[in-house]
């Protein structure tokens, strides 16, 4: 049997505090590996609601360093030091675009040993932010490409042993790299921050995300990263102007099974 990928949207929101939409975070399960994409504020709580603890995580992938995507990293690392919960036996690997080592070093300047996990249990890895890059783990393949948002911004394509692939855009404006990276993917999780008539530079709208999904010929599109204005309009209708394939609007704790 070809093994699939389980996707859980942990946070479908933004920096705006919301009881319905936590800040950005997505969990992928591939066989026994748990991969977290971004960790905005509230991520650990949403993980618990999804039945997962921080000790189950094997990888964290950061799309960029804005606080609504990274802020929970500090409490997450601090929590791994709580003695009675010291159950991490395998390393946590953090993957991000170029500049992460510097970003993390500056966090350690502030928090020091409070966010220093026990020796050997934390690895970090930078992927290129100016060209495509890739990395192969035991359980899956990672490909990345630069996005139009921050200097360090990258999107990820994860392909499991079963051959199914999921793409996570992070924050971005419309760009060709995302179309190439997402080509014929089984699922594209794409930001759609603001309605069509409120679009801003550095972010997508429902119809732009739909245009990318159509050009990339993805099997399914999930829109996420909704500012409150998105909940005041018909996001699906706006996306349908440019995309006619399978479509879901992200909700916190929504779960999708890809390929199984
Ligand atoms: Zn951002
Ligand atoms: Zn964002």
Residue 90 alpha carbon to ligand 1 centre in Å: 30
Residues of the chain with pLDDT under 50: none
Specify the pLDDT at position 223.
98
Cα–Cα separations (whole angstroms), residue 189 to 1, 6, 85, 167: 25, 13, 32, 6
Q: What is the pLDDT at residue 80?
A: 86
> Which ligand is closest to the CA of 191, given by its number?
2
What is the H or E stretch that residue 193 is in?
A: none
Q: How far is the CA of 216 from the centre of ligand 2 (A)?
A: 22
Q: Compute the distance from residue 172 Cα to the ligand 1 centre, in Å.
A: 8
Alpha carbons 167 and 190: distance in angstroms, whole number: 8
To which H or E segment does residue 195 belong? none
pLDDT of residue 198: 97
pLDDT digits (tens, 9 = 90+) for 159-217: 999 999 999 999 999 999 999 999 999 999 999 999 999 999 999 999 999 999 999 99
Whole-number pLDDT of residue 84: 64
Residue holding tokens 């972010």?
A: 203
Q: Give the per-residue pLDDT at 1.
A: 53
Rounded distance from Cα 85 to ligand 1 centre (Å): 32
What ligand has the least distance to the C-alpha of 202?
1
């Amino acid at each position: 049997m070809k093994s699939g990928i389980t996707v859980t949207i942990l946070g479908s929101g933004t920096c705006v505090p919301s009881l319905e939409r936590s800040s950005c975070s997505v969990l992928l399960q591939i066989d026994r590996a748990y991969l977290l994409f971004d960790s905005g504020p509230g991520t650990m709580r949403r993980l618990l609601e999804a039945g997962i603890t921080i000790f189950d995580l094997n990888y964290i992938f950061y799309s960029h360093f804005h606080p609504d995507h990274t802020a929970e990293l500090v409490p997450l690392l601090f929590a791994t030091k709580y003695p009675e919960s010291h159950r991490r036996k395998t390393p946590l690997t953090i993957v991000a675009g170029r500049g992460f080592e510097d970003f993390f070093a500056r966090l350690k300047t502030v928090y020091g040993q409070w966010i220093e996990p026990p020796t050997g249990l934390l690895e970090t890895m930078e992927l290129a932010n100016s060209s495509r890059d890739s990395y192969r783990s035991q359980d899956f393949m990672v490909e990345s490409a630069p996005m139009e948002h921050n200097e360090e911004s990258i999107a990820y394509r994860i392909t499991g042993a079963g051959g199914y692939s999921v793409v996570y855009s992070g924050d971005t404006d419309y760009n060709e790299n995302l179309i190439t990276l997402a080509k014929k993917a089984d699922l594209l999780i794409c930001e759609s921050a603001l309605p069509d008539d409120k679009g801003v530079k550095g972010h997508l709208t429902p119809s732009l995300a739909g245009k990318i999904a159509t050009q990339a010929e993805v099997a399914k599109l999930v829109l996420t990263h909704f500012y409150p204005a998105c909940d005041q309009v018909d996001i699906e209708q706006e996306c349908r102007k440019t995309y006619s394939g399978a479509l879901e609007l992200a909700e916190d704790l929504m779960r999708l099974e890809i390929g199984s």
